[in-house]
Amino acid sequence: MEIPAIVGAGLVVIGAGIGIGRIGGSAMDAIARQPEATGKIQTAMLIAAALIEGIGFAALFAV
């Protein structure tokens, strides 16, 4: 049986979602621990999330 490509894309998006969720959650923890470093944590969080997001989009466009 052939597995359609869209299933693979779905799996990648699930993975990317878990990844971005973990980044967001960890950033929340970090901000709660050190509120004075909020700006730096947010910048690092956005960059990491954007990198993972790129993989998710690549999977969607590969379908």
Partner 1 sequence: MSFVHPRSVEHVYKIIDILETKVSKTEIKEYINHHLLDSHDFGLFSYTTDEGEHKYIGAPLPVILWDNGLQVFYSSKLHHGEHVAEHNGNYYMLHHSKIYKTDAEGTINYDAEHHPTNVKPLDFSITKNVVFILLVAILMFFLFTRMAKSYKGNLMPKGMGRLLEPIVLYVRDEIAVPNIGEKHYKRYMSYLLTVFFFVWIVNLFGLTPIGMNLTNNIAVTFCLAIITYLITTFSGNKNYWKHIFWMPGVPVPMKIILAPIELLGTFIKPFALMIRLYANITAGHIVLMSIIGMMFVFNNWLGSSLSFLLAFVLGILELLVAALQAYIFTVLSALYFGMAVEEHHHDEAH
Residues of this chain that bind partner 1 (CB under 8 A): 43, 46-47, 50-51, 53-54, 57-58, 60-61
In sequence order, what DSSP letters do the residues of 2-61 get, joined into one string?
PPPHHHHHHHHHHHHHHHHHHHHHHHHHHHHH-GGGHHHHHHHHHHHHHHHHHHHHHHHH
Minimum distance between the CB of residue 48 and partner 1, rounded to whole angstroms?
11
Of the pair 30, 60, the CB lying nearest partner 1 is at 60
Minimum distance between the CB of residue 51 and partner 1, rounded to whole angstroms?
7
Of the pair 6, 50, the CB lying nearest partner 1 is at 50
CA 29 to chain centre: 16
